[in-house]
């Protein structure tokens, strides 16, 4: 189901897709195809080919990554997962990109006449290049540099521009070619602004970091970069800095921390992963309320008969977190109760990772330093340590970390 914004339905206008289940046929691509059919738009080959669908999925990933980088709500989850009834708003520019990838003929209007733009095969481009070049020269609003150019651009109403080879490009990006001089078109083409990190964003704290172990840092960095779940690759540096810095403060192998983070969150830091409904485990490391109560508890209460058996057990388990008591006391000043800390990790990425490292260290202590047993207790049967991540010659597993290292801000 589709809602259209704009004067003409067959132009690249803003649209809202509403995901609906149609038996086995459902999902964002199915709704996009229905959207094209409902507008009566023509496809270059009569249907969307496999290559065109692959291009469409790539465009959707780029749009999704762009929204995440701007701290906007993402379109879909892992493997393009969407929910029934979900509304997805696309701007005119985004729909233009999607149409181009699908091979849709795009009709755009100006004051004098209308032009139909279509993504054609290489043979079709050569046949139509003269006609398109003449049309461009007539309607162009950008004056090229007197030097020799192989590129002529103009702005259309539906925010696309056409090269002389009849291929469609985004209007806010001028191709950078060796033979082309820079085109001064500030009045018609937007400048791409560098990404800014807002104050309070977890990335701001981890923009720079000098690793204590460069080899270990590089391995963590490469594993994050090559993780297929990470949609926004520009976050690789910030994630590697955060994982390595916090791991070193708590004396834990950053590769183990990175693997747990990837396993628990899949690098999707959204409300449905950090604060899933009807599930007690929260944050990017999926920590439960009982563990947080044990972290905050006092071992003296282990024999307090006025408390419930559960409370006495949580007080007893605090002995496994005493290595981080200095940091726990600091957290209590900002989050006086375990309930407040539990609420905070639902939205705070860095804090969620830090509390998760504490929880893992508690598992290490309970299992007398055995990493294999601690990982099994923390992640359960879902945990699979990546093959080749740690080798026996460098960092053997299974191994023991005992006594448990103490927290240090250094």
Name the strand (E) or helix (H) holding 306. Answer: none
Same domain, 212 and 355: yes
Beta strand 106-109 with 15-18: parallel, antiparallel or unpaired?
Answer: unpaired
Q: Are residues 117 and 99 in the same domain?
A: no
Is there a single domain that holds both residue 353 and residue 218? yes
- Give 54's contacts (C-beta < 8 A, 6+ positions apart): none
In this predicted model, what pLDDT tens digit does every residue of 346-374 receive, in sequence order? 999 999 999 999 999 999 999 888 888 88
Phi-psi region of 278 (alpha: psi -120 to 50; beta: other; left: phi over 0): left
pLDDT band at 59; cut points 50, 70, 90:
confident
pLDDT at 65 (0 to 100): 83
Q: How many CA atoms lie within 13 A of 72 on its CB side?
A: 13
User: Any residues with CB less than 8 A from the CB of 205 and at least 6 apart, and which?
Assistant: 242, 350
Range of the domain at 96: 2-104
pLDDT of residue 25: 56
Whether 295 has a pLDDT exceeding 50, the answer reads yes
The 3-state DSSP class for residue 99 equals: helix
- Sort 178 into a burial class: Cβ within 10 Å, 0-12 / 13-18 / 19+: exposed
Q: Which of 19-23, 229-233, 384-388 is least confident?
A: 384-388
Q: Is 42 among the domain residues?
A: yes
309-343 pLDDT, tens digit each: 999 999 999 999 999 999 999 999 999 999 999 99
Asked whether residue 387 is domain-assigned, the answer is no
Mean pLDDT, the chain, rounded, equals 74
- Is there a contact between 39 and 165 (Cβ–Cβ < 8 Å)? no
**pLDDT bucket at 383, cuts 50 / 70 / 90:** low
Instruction: Give yes or no for residue 247 having a pLDDT over 90.
Output: yes
Domain co-membership, 318 together with 306: yes
**Are 405 and 252 within 8 A, CB to CB?**
yes
- Regarding whether 64 and 40 lie in a shared domain, the answer is yes
- Do the beta carbons of residue 55 and residue 26 sit within 8 Å? no
Band of pLDDT at residue 89, cut at 50, 70 and 90: confident
Those residues whose C-beta lies under 8 Å from the C-beta of residue 32, and which sit 6 or more positions away, are 17, 56, 98, 102
- Show Cβ contacts of residue 113 under 8 Å, excluding neighbours closer than 6 positions: none
In a domain, 25, yes or no: yes
Question: Are 123 and 265 within one domain?
Answer: no
Of the candidates 237, 173, 169, the one whose C-alpha atom is nearest the C-alpha of residue 209 is: 237
pLDDT number for residue 21: 63
The span from the CA of 261 to the CA of 247, in Å, is 12
DSSP characters for 230-266?
A: -S-GGGHHHHHHHHHHHHHHHT--HHHHHHHHHHHHT
At 98-141, the pLDDT tens digits run 888 888 876 544 443 433 434 344 444 445 555 545 554 554 44
Residues 218 and 363 in one domain: yes
Is residue 400 assigned to a domain? no
N- to C-terminal Cα separation, the chain:
55
Q: CB under 8 Å, gap of 24 or more: what pairs does 265-270 form?
A: 266/78, 266/229, 267/224, 267/227, 267/229, 267/230, 267/231, 267/235, 267/239, 268/74, 268/77, 268/78, 268/229, 268/231, 269/349, 270/73, 270/74, 270/77
Query: Considering only CA atoms, which of 315, 314, 310 is closest in space to residue 300?
Result: 315
Provide mean pLDDT across the span 214-223. Answer: 93
pLDDT score recorded for residue 4: 42
Residue 195 belongs to some domain of the structure: no
Q: In terms of domains, do 288 and 230 share one?
A: yes
pLDDT tens, position by position, 159-214? 333 333 333 333 333 334 334 444 444 443 344 344 566 666 888 899 999 998 99
From CA 397, how far away is CA 251, in angstroms rounded? Answer: 17
- If one counts the domains in the chain, the total is 3
Q: What integer is the mean pLDDT of 261-289?
A: 91
């Amino acid at each position: 189901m589709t809602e259209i914004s704009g004067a003409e339905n067959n132009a690249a206008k803003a649209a809202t897709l509403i995901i609906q289940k149609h038996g086995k046929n459902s999902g964002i691509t199915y709704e996009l195809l229905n959207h094209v059919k409902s507008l009566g738009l023509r496809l270059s080959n009569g249907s969307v080919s496999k290559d065109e669908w692959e291009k469409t999925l790539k465009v959707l990933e780029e749009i999704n990554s762009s929204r995440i980088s701007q701290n906007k709500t993402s379109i879909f989850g892992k493997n393009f997962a969407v929910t029934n009834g979900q509304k997805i708003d696309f701007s005119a520019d985004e729909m233009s990109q999607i149409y181009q990838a699908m091979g849709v003929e795009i009709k755009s209007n100006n004051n004098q006449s209308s032009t139909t733009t279509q993504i054609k095969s290489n043979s079709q481009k050569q046949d139509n290049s003269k006609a398109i070049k003449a049309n461009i020269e007539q309607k162009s609003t950008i004056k090229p540099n007197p030097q020799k150019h192989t590129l002529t651009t103009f702005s259309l109403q539906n925010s696309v521009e056409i090269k002389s080879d009849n291929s469609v490009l985004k209007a806010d990006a001028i191709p950078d070619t060796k033979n082309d001089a820079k085109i001064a078109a500030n009045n018609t083409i937007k400048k791409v602004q560098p990404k800014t990190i807002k104050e309070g964003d977890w990335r701001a704290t981890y923009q720079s970091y000098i690793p204590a172990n460069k080899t270990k840092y590089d391995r963590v960095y490469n594993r994050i970069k090559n993780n297929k779940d990470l949609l926004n690759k520009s976050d690789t540096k910030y994630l590697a800095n955060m994982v390595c810095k916090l791991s070193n403060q708590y004396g834990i192998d950053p590769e183990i921390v990175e693997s747990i983070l990837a396993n628990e969150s899949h690098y999707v830091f959204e409300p449905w992963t950090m604060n899933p409904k009807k599930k007690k485990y929260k944050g990017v490391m999926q920590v439960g309320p009982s563990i947080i109560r044990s972290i905050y508890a006092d071992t003296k209460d282990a024999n307090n008969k006025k408390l419930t058996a559960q409370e006495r057990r949580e007080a007893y388990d605090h002995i496994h977190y005493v290595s981080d008591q200095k940091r726990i006391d600091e957290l209590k000043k900002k989050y006086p109760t375990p309930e407040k800390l539990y609420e905070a990790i639902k939205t705070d990425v860095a804090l969620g990772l830090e509390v998760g490292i504490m929880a893992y260290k508690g598992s290490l202590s309970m299992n007398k330093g055995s990493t294999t047993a601690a990982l099994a207790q923390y992640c359960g049967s879902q945990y699979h340590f990546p093959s080749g991540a740690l080798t026996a010659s460098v960092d053997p597993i299974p191994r023991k970390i005992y006594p448990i290292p103490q927290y240090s801000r250094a």
